[in-house]
């Protein structure tokens, strides 16, 4: 049987502040097969950050794009962690665990491709809900692995995957069905739904026959899968 791939969502955000080095270390420690992070381009730097505002996850407020980089770095992202850069996350995960970089804005695409292409590592997977960003990534980096994020279980995502020579399909859990997994399988696309947070979610992922999943608590999913 093929192994089930557990992807630590924003590190291990059930336990540690999301998208911080601390959260990523926890995800690695807890046995995640891959770590997922979100990136944006702010003040010329690739920063690891989910929202477009600072309010929910830091002690700052307002648009993340309004602050110069040194001011962003002075904020606490929880437990006095700093907002990391992509370079820091690549350094931390290199040689330890594959990294899924989710592109959250268009401006970040070219700098991410340039950085990833400059590195010897091949265990980096780019993904985005914005397929135009993925088309640009494919153009800039003809061989980088790409994952298609989708909130609907439609034919469009499968066609986009074929066109981009995608490595995987990342559908929302809400739209996951056994039929959709089978359609992806027929196109040799592994399916990694997001985001598993409890037993019911994991039950659905298993019942649908997905190849893995994104999980806020990758250690718990890993343990549940081996029972
Ligand atoms: O990449 C899977 C998941 O992270 C997508 O949604 O909003 O958590 O970035 P979000
Ligand atoms: Mg994400």
Percent of the chain's residues with pLDDT above 90: 98
DSSP 65: G
Q: Select from 102, 99, 127 the least CA-distant residue to 38.
A: 102
Q: Give me the phi and psi of 185, to 5 degrees please.
A: -55, -45
pLDDT level of residue 6 (50, 70, 90 thresholds): very high
Q: Select from 106, 102, 115 the least CA-distant residue to 50.
A: 102
Task: Tell me the C-alpha distance between 13 and 143, whole Å.
Answer: 30
pLDDT score recorded for residue 20: 99
40 lines ligand 1 (CB under 6 A): no
Give the E-state strand segments of the chain in sequence order: 5-9, 34-42, 45-48, 99-103, 124-128, 146-150, 168-171, 212-215
Report whether pLDDT(222) > 90.
Answer: yes
170 is catalytic: no
CATH numbers and ranges of domains, the chain: 5-226 (3.20.20.190)
Q: Give me the phi and psi of 138, to 5 degrees please.
A: -65, -40
pLDDT score recorded for residue 92: 98
pLDDT tens by residue, 79-119: 999 999 999 999 999 999 999 999 999 999 999 999 999 99
Percent of the chain's residues with pLDDT above 70: 100
Q: Is the separation of the CB atoms in 160 and 140 below 8 Å?
A: no
Q: How many Cα atoms are found within 13 Å in the side-chain-facing hemisphere of 202?
A: 20
- Indicate which residue of 15, 50, 139, 170 is catalytic: 50
pLDDT score recorded for residue 227: 87
Q: Which residues pair with 149 in a beta bridge?
A: 170
Report whether pLDDT(1) > 80.
Answer: no
The residue whose two tokens read 């944006």 is 40
Specify the ligand 1 atom closest to the Cα of 214: 2
pLDDT score recorded for residue 153: 86
How many beta carbons lie within 10 A of that of residue 165, not counting itself?
11
Report whether pLDDT(2) > 90.
Answer: no
Q: Select from 108, 81, 85, 104 the least CA-distant residue to 26.
A: 81
Is the full-model pTM beyond 0.75?
A: yes
pLDDT score recorded for residue 87: 98
Report whether pLDDT(206) > 80.
Answer: yes
Task: Tell me the C-alpha distance between 108 and 50, whole Å.
Answer: 13
15 is catalytic: no
Report whether pLDDT(16) > 80.
Answer: yes
pLDDT mean over 43-51: 98
18 lines ligand 1 (CB under 6 A): no
Report whether pLDDT(58) > 90.
Answer: yes
102 lines ligand 1 (CB under 6 A): yes
Mean pLDDT, rounded, of the chain: 97
Token pair of 157 as six digits: 């995502």
């Amino acid at each position: 049987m093929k192994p089930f791939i557990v992807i630590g969502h924003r590190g291990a955000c059930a336990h540690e502040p999301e998208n911080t080095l601390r959260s990523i270390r926890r995800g690695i420690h807890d046995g995640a097969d891959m770590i997922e992070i979100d990136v944006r381009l702010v003040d010329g730097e690739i920063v690891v950050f989910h929202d477009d505002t600072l309010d929910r996850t830091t002690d700052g407020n307002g648009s993340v794009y309004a602050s110069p980089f040194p001011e962003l770095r002075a904020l606490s992202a929880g437990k006095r962690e700093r907002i990391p850069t992509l370079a820091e996350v690549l350094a931390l995960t290199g040689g330890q665990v594959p990294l899924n970089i989710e592109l959250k804005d268009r401006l970040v695409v070219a700098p991410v491709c340039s950085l990833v292409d400059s590195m010897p590592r091949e265990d980096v997977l780019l993904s985005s809900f914005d397929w135009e960003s993925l088309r640009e990534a494919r153009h800039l980096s003809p061989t980088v692995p790409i994952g298609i994020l989708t909130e609907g279980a439609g034919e469009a995502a499968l066609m986009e995957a074929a066109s981009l020579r995608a490595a995987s399909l990342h559908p929302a859990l809400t739209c996951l069905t056994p039929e959709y997994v089978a359609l992806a399988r027929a196109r040799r696309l592994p399916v990694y739904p997001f985001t598993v947070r409890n037993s019911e979610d994991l039950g659905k992922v298993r019942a649908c026959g997905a190849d893995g999943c994104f999980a806020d608590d990758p250690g718990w999913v890993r343990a549940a899968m081996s029972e």
